[in-house]
């Protein structure tokens, strides 16, 4: 692999593309050729670097300089100044925002990168970069030295569990598919990452697609599959493009197709693009969609290992599960099993969002505590506020409170606490979050994503949402909380698939840990967090108000009155509680009361 003195990562997220990112890449390549620097500086296209609001964006390593807002015309000057003269171009340097994707930078405290090991380090569009970091070495070992049974035994010994959320042992699933008789079997990769705020799979697909492809090839060899599908959501256009390029390159290099590496092993795969239905993350709905049918879940048994795609035995794992496989084969099951807990081995990627100082994508060993993730890895609660809760497991997970901060993050511990691992989303909340409104938000999402096949989910989630909205609107009545709780239990117990079974979790967990907030909404007609619009009102503090008239000029309904240089007042009967007065006031004279 050639040695480059600098790596330039250019963001090609849709927002940066719309601002000319590809033109910047082309101009950069042309200028490096013109200056004789092509062998010294490598240009890589990567996913989101920062906010993209000032794009196109690029990162220059090892300097760690973040440039924004340049055009193709600015590139010659940039190359001359930065790469020939060694001077940072302050005109384009972004120094005010620290929101840069952390997987492109140094490890955070307590991070261990297995799945994310190559993201930002190699060109995902160049298979030779992957080969240079031991890519396809695991497959070479498997095809040359191991039987299918030995591969399954190694994966089983590693303790790897499916990272899609359920945590079913990967080796056991492979073994089940292997045992089912049949000449035609399929491998499926679930890349339909639909949880709000989750982007773990996207980063792997966009930054290291060959690790997923290699994992699928190894799995196909182990279970006896001859064809595979990567089911990727349409909202990930860069991931789809990167995957298609990687598959074509793997086929060109002889890792896919017939008689792979001179053996009698045949395997090929393709990308199938989903249409944005969250329910297609459920494996039977996903497989129905692959076959061109409506994405609806099916009753089990039979399980996909027995009857899956086109009625044939099918193995289904998600992106992160497959990306772990090559490293397990190369470094050994014992190495992988040395990380994590007794029953949850290895590492896990998490998308940490919400009210933390350093949000972003992380990879940490299983068993790390919530306290360590929130306060050590993510930098604690931002703006000096107080931790209140964290939602784990996405829209079907549960909210955990301060008493759970020392809870180890593994499958069993989270389930016992009333939540779940899910795909790895963590949404952290502080005291400004209303837990009733949080439950309403997640129920609104899952209700909209219900496929409607079974009545408990189709009708039950709608009724739960209506009750939550009623409570948030200040119209809750005596008995509503008990009715809400009973309805949640019935929906969870009687729904067909995991969506309906898990949809009530945010409501049940917030009812358990924050019942006092629900009671305040219903009985006191107050929102303690001052979030629910119908339960708050705005008031101008007379001693602080200077009478500058800014709030009155900006009020959309003319609810604010008062003379210049005199304290103003808000007519609560006219006020629509939009909060604009508070936003524009320069003297902090507007307060929100409940």
Which structural domains are found in the chain, ordered by start? 6-100 (3.40.30.10), 127-337 (3.40.50.11540), 347-430 (3.10.20.600), 435-524 (1.20.1440.230), 536-593 (3.30.70.20)
Tens of pLDDT, residue by residue over 187-225, are 999 999 888 778 889 989 999 999 999 999 999 999 999
Q: What is the dihedral of CA 145, 146, 151, 152, to 10 degrees?
A: -170
* DSSP E strand stretches across 54-118: 57-61, 65-68
Closest CA relative to residue 346, chosen from 121, 203, 155: 155
Q: Do 508 and 398 meet the contact criterion of CB atoms below 8 Å apart?
A: yes
Backbone angles phi, psi at 494, to 5 degrees: -110, -5
3-state secondary structure of 198: coil
Q: Is 155 exposed, middle or buried (0-12, 13-18, 19+ CB in 10 A)?
A: buried
H helix or E strand, kind and range, residue 152: helix 148-158
Question: What percent of the chain is predicted at pLDDT more than 90?
Answer: 67
| Entry field: residues in the chain | 594
Alpha helices in 495-561 (DSSP H): 498-502, 505-513, 515-519, 550-554
Helix, strand, coil percent content, the chain, rounded in steps of 5? 45, 15, 40
Tens of pLDDT, residue by residue over 498-543, are 889 999 999 999 999 999 999 999 999 999 999 999 999 999 998 8
pLDDT above 70: residue 2: no
Structure tokens that stand for 540 in this block: 């101008």
pLDDT of residue 105: 59
pLDDT of residue 278: 85
Question: What radius of gyration, in Å, describes the C-alpha atoms of the chain?
Answer: 27
pLDDT of residue 98: 45
Tens of pLDDT, residue by residue over 349-391, are 999 989 999 888 899 999 999 999 999 999 999 988 999 999 9
Q: What is the dihedral of CA 428, 431, 432, 437, to 10 degrees?
A: 70
My answer on whether omega of the bond before 269 falls inside 30° of 0, hence cis, is no
State how beta strands 41-46 and 6-11 pair: parallel
Tens of pLDDT, residue by residue over 151-181, are 999 999 999 999 987 789 999 999 999 999 9
Say how far apart CA 42 and CA 45 lie, in whole Å: 10
How many Cβ atoms from other residues are within 10 Å of residue 95's Cβ? 9
Alpha helices in 283-318 (DSSP H): 283-290
Closest CA relative to residue 479, chosen from 523, 526, 525: 523
3-state secondary structure of 208: coil
- For the entire predicted model, the pTM comes to 0.83
Tens of pLDDT, residue by residue over 288-331, are 999 999 988 888 889 999 999 999 999 999 999 999 999 999 99
């Amino acid at each position: 692999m050639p040695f480059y003195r600098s790596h330039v990562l250019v963001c090609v997220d849709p927002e940066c593309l719309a601002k000319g990112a590809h033109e910047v890449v082309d101009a950069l390549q042309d200028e490096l050729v013109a200056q004789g620097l092509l062998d010294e500086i490598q240009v890589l296209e990567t996913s989101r670097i920062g906010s993209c609001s000032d794009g196109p964006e690029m990162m220059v390593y090892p300097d760690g300089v973040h440039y924004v807002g340049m055009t193709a015309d600015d590139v010659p000057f940039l190359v001359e100044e930065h790469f020939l003269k060694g001077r940072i171009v302050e005109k384009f340097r972004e120094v005010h925002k620290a929101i840069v994707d952390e997987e492109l930078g140094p490890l955070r405290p307590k991070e261990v990168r297995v799945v994310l090991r190559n993201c930002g380090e190699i060109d995902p569009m160049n298979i030779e970069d992957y080969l240079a970091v031991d890519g396809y070495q695991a497959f070479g070992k498997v095809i040359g030295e191991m039987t299918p049974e030995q591969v399954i035994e190694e994966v089983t010994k590693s303790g790897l569990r499916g990272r899609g959320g359920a945590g079913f042992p990967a080796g056991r699933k492979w073994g089940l598919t292997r045992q089912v008789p049949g000449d035609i079997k399929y491998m499926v990769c679930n890349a339909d990452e639909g949880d709000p705020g989750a982007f773990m799979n996207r980063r792997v697909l966009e930054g290291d697609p060959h690790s997923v492809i290699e994992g699928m090839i190894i799995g196909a060899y182990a279970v006896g599959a001859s064809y595979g599908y990567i089911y990727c959501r349409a909202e990930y256009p860069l991931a789809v493009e990167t995957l298609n390029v990687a598959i074509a390159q793997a086929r060109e290099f002889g890792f896919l197709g017939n008689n792979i590496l001179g053996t009698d092993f045949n395997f090929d795969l393709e990308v199938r693009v989903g249409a944005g239905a969250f329910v297609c993350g459920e494996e039977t709905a996903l497989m129905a969609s692959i076959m061109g049918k409506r994405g609806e879940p099916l009753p089990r048994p039979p399980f996909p290992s027995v009857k899956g795609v086109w009625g044939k035995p099918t193995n289904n794992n998600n992106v992160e599960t497959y990306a772990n496989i090559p490293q397990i084969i190369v470094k050994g099951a014992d190495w992988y099993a040395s990380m994590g807990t007794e029953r949850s081995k290895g590492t896990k990627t998490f998308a940490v969002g919400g009210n933390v100082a350093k949000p972003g994508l992380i990879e940490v060993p299983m068993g790390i505590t919530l306290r360590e993730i929130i306060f050590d890895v993510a930098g604690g609660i931002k703006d000096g506020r107080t931790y209140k809760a964290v939602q784990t497991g996405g829209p079907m997970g549960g909210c955990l409170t301060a008493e759970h901060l020392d809870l180890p993050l593994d499958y069993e511990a989270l389930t016992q606490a009333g939540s779940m691992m899910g795909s790895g989303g963590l949404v952290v909340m502080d005291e400004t979050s209303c837990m009733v409104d949080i439950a309403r938000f997640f129920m609104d999402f899952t209700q909209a994503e219900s496929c409607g096949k079974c009545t408990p989910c189709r009708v039950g989630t709608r009724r739960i949402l209506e009750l939550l909205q009623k409570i948030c609107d200040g119209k809750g009545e005596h008995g509503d909380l008990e009715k809400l709780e009973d309805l949640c239990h019935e929906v969870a117990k009687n729904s067909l698939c995991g969506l309906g079974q898990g949809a009530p979790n945010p409501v049940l967990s917030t009812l358990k840990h924050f019942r006092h907030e629900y009671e305040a909404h219903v009985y006191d007609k107050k929102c303690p967090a001052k979030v629910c619009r119908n339960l708050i009102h705005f008031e101008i503090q007379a001693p602080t108000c200077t009478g500058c008239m800014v709030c009155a000029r900006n009020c959309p309904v003319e609810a604010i009155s008062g003379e210049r240089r005199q304290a103003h007042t808000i007519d609560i009967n006219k006020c629509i509680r939009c909060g604009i007065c508070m936003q524009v006031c320069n003297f902090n004279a507007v307060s929100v009361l409940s």
